[in-house]
Amino acid sequence: MADDIKENEMTSVSSVNYVRALKGKDSVLVTPSSLMTQIGILHTSFSLSPGEQYELPYKSGLIMIQNSNRSHEKAVATLYGSGNGTVIVPSSTIQFFSEEIGKVCVFNNGENTKYIIKNTRNESQNIIITFIE
């Protein structure tokens, strides 16, 4: 157990593995990524097999997405709950608002549903996203 340290004597850091918090009367550990997701910010990376999809936890927002297998360029778009939006920075490897064979696609399946990222290429793709609700 750590010794009690006055708040003004604590070391400042820019990143942590966990944040200690109280839930009721219990002390719990929370990951920083969980805190960010709860306030509407998601930053993650993952691999998608051919035909595999990843469901975003939000119905609308601002997305920056990169297919790191194909390019260092990032695509940026606003996603509306209605299924459309505005592509701000296009990318030749990313398709927004519909499925297109041979790309990583970002779309939803109907009004007010969560967005999906789907790999329509015939090989696994590494994806990096930042999403702000």
- pLDDT per residue over 56-110, tens digit each? 988 999 999 999 987 788 999 999 989 899 999 999 999 999 999 999 999 998 8
Task: Please check whether residue 18 is in contact with residue 30, taking contact to mean a CB–CB distance below 8 angstroms.
Answer: yes
Joined tokens for residue 63: 């997305």
Domain ranges of the chain: 42-132
Q: What is the pLDDT of residue 114?
A: 92
The pTM is what? 0.76
Tell me which architecture the domain covering 42-132 has in CATH. Answer: Sandwich (2.60)
- pLDDT per residue over 1-49, tens digit each? 456 778 788 788 777 777 887 888 888 888 766 766 677 789 999 999 9
d(CA 133, CA 60): 6
d(CA 43, CA 38): 12
